[in-house]
Amino acid sequence: MKKLLTGNEAFAYGAYLAGVKVATAYPGTPSTEVVLNCAKYDTIYSEWSPNEKVAFDVAVGAAYAGGRALCAMKHVGLNVAADSLFYASYTGHKAGLVVINADDPGMHSSQNEQDNRNYAKFAKLPMLEPADSEEAKRFVPLAFEISEQFDTPVFIRTTTRLSHSRTIVEMNDSRRIVPSTEKIKFERNPGKYHMIPANARLRHTVVEEKIRKLAEYAETFAYNVVESGNDEIGIVTSGVTYQYAREVFPKATYLKLGMVYPLPKQLILDFAKRVKKMVIIEELDPFFEEYFKTLGIEVIGKEVFPIEGEFSPYLIREAAAKADLTEAPAPIKPVSLELPSRPPMLCPGCAHRGVFYALKSLNAVVHGDIGCYALGGSPPLAMMHTSGCMGASIGVVHGVDKVGVKDRTVAVIGDSTFFHSGIHPLINVLYNKGVSTVIISDNRITAMTGHQDNPGSGQTLLGEPVEQIDLETLVRGLGARKVAVVNPFELDEMLETLKEFMESEEPSVLIARYPCVLNIKEKHPVPEIDLEICTNCGTCLEIGCPPLAKTEDGVAIDVQLCNGCGLCVKVCPFEAIKKSNDQ
């Protein structure tokens, strides 16, 4: 039977076929749906861990104890898990361990576009890269075989475009591997698993031997394939880029690499002899290109195809045409009509809006973090002045404090990001006598990636009810004495508390709590605007709420979009916006 699956759904199906016992992740676009879909198979224990490092360690433990384990994360998530990645490369594990890692060329929803193929080389681990959903499915059981044969974690690299494209997959449930329960046992072997220097030195030798053997294996790996065509041009490529290249160079000869590290030296040398001109088409870094150049092969690569951004068939055609590798595309008439952009915004009814409106009223400097609330940096609120990576806000605000800037500086971090990596920097603020104000904008869910549960939301990924972490008790336990929980829609209280905290000589934590309205599907009656009173002053428009629009007669509310949260009612200086009568 054939089915249309996204790359991420296909990875999960592959995990099911491979008899995976444990799947772990912290949500992150574009990798979220891998473990989300693993959870749909009752043969796979699946969990949202608080961050990628924890997720990785859990997967390692499962593999140590004999169960096949899968861990998924976005590219920057691997930065968080990198410490664990390197020890796991040394120890190996009893059962297979596969890491699905999603790069985001073009930064559709990321802070950078790092090329994680570099991690494979860095940590001395093999990396596979499928080119469509069918390969995504096939590569998972295959990666587990490699993992167990070579006693190593194995990466499968994906990109946004592969993870979120839907292509045809052959469903073959009958081929599922049923894991044997006899293998489930932790066997003591500290020489292999206890990484003190004396043991680790011996393991390093094993790691070098492993990667040498894997390079030999790559020579005959079934998905490193030469596809014969016209040998005038030989294209070297991998992943979804292969599909784009096929559109532009339908008749060329291809070396399609299913294993992107380690690379098959002899296969590459033979390919170089066969084709007249070798063209490497790879998104992001010149990862293949640099290796090919060490082999003394002349290649066309990054001087033609950009190092930045996401590729597309058109981009490849245009770049290749400039280098006379193909015909130029038909000219496209430029668009002269001005089309205003449509950036994402805080949703109607979003409680983060109350937090940022209060911060704006107090003219704060805001060190922000990763999540929906990063949209508080967009106009008209425009109240986020730095943001870098998960959990950075609180460390950064402390540094600003310690250098001597005391004035109006706060950190804003979401609940899920706080659980991910905000607790340690808060300990640091409290331990090292900082005076910063930290706002935890707590909407009880991991919202940006599509509402995944977290330790504060009271439910696991498998839908089991669980005790919610009590943030207030947690931060008090860390040593915070100035702590308040405020509903961000109660603007007066929000302003008063925030002002007091920001002016205080001691560290403070303001928990701004209101559940994500998209998640709880809350909606109230739409307020009414009295156009007799409205002076069109524009104050309500400063909250940046999508249903509010300026018209000639005054401000209008789009009743279909409006969530009825009433924040506009509170900010109107003339009381022209009134709660609906039926409220």
Partner 1 sequence: MQNYNFILAGVGGQGTILTSDILVEVGLKAGYDVKKSEVHGMSQRGGGVESHVRWGEKVYSPVVERGKADYLLGFEMLEGARWATYLNPQAKVYINDHKIYPPSVNIGQGTYPEEKNIEQLLAERSTIFAWVGAMAKAKELGNPALAGVVMLGRLARELDVTVEIWLEVIAELVPAKFTKLNKEAFLAGRKMK
- What are the residues binding partner 1 (CB under 8 A)? 2, 4, 29-30, 108-109, 132, 160-161, 164-168, 240, 242-244, 246-247, 312-314, 317, 329-330, 332-335, 337-347, 372, 375, 378-380, 448-450, 518, 538, 541, 544, 546, 548-550, 560
What are the E-state strand segments in 443-493?
A: 482-486
302-327 burial code (b ≥16 CB/10 A, e <16): eebbeeeebbeeebbbebbeeeebbe
Which CB sits closer to partner 1, 340 or 573? 340
Q: Alpha-carbon torsion 35, 516, 448, 399, what sign?
A: negative
CA distances 251 to 59, 254, 268, Å, are 43, 9, 20
Which CB sits closer to partner 1, 166 or 277? 166
Q: Could you tell me whether strands 548-551 and 554-557 are parallel, antiparallel, or unpaired per DSSP bridges? A: antiparallel
Contact yes or no for 287/312 (Cβ under 8 A): no
Two tokens, residue 238:
């991998």
Which CB sits closer to partner 1, 179 or 313? 313
Which CB sits closer to partner 1, 178 or 332? 332
Give the closest residue to 127 by CA, choosing from 137, 111, 112, 139: 139
How many residues appear in the chain? 583
Which CB sits closer to partner 1, 184 or 345? 345
Q: How far apart are CA 218 and CA 212, in angstroms?
A: 10
CA distances 364 to 185, 243, 382, Å, are 55, 48, 11
Peptide bond before residue 525 is cis, with ω within 30 degrees of 0: no
CA distances 193 to 100, 114, 189, Å, are 23, 30, 6
Q: How far apart are CA 580 and CA 583, in angstroms?
A: 6
Name the one residue in this structure whose structure tokens are 């640099």. Answer: 290
Phi/psi at 291 (nearest 5 deg)? -65, -45
Tell me which DSSP letter residue 131 carries: S
Question: CA angle, corner 480, sides to 475 and 485, nearest 5?
Answer: 60
Which CB sits closer to partner 1, 109 or 428? 109
DSSP for 277-302, please give it. EEEEE-SSS-HHHHHHHHTT---B-T
Which CB sits closer to partner 1, 76 or 435? 76
Which CB sits closer to partner 1, 165 or 436? 165
3-state secondary structure of 398: helix
Q: How far apart are CA 549 and CA 555, in angstroms?
A: 6
3-state secondary structure of 468: coil
Which CB sits closer to partner 1, 240 or 529? 240
DSSP for 310-347, please give it. ---HHHHHHHHHHTTSSPPPPP-PPP-S--------PP
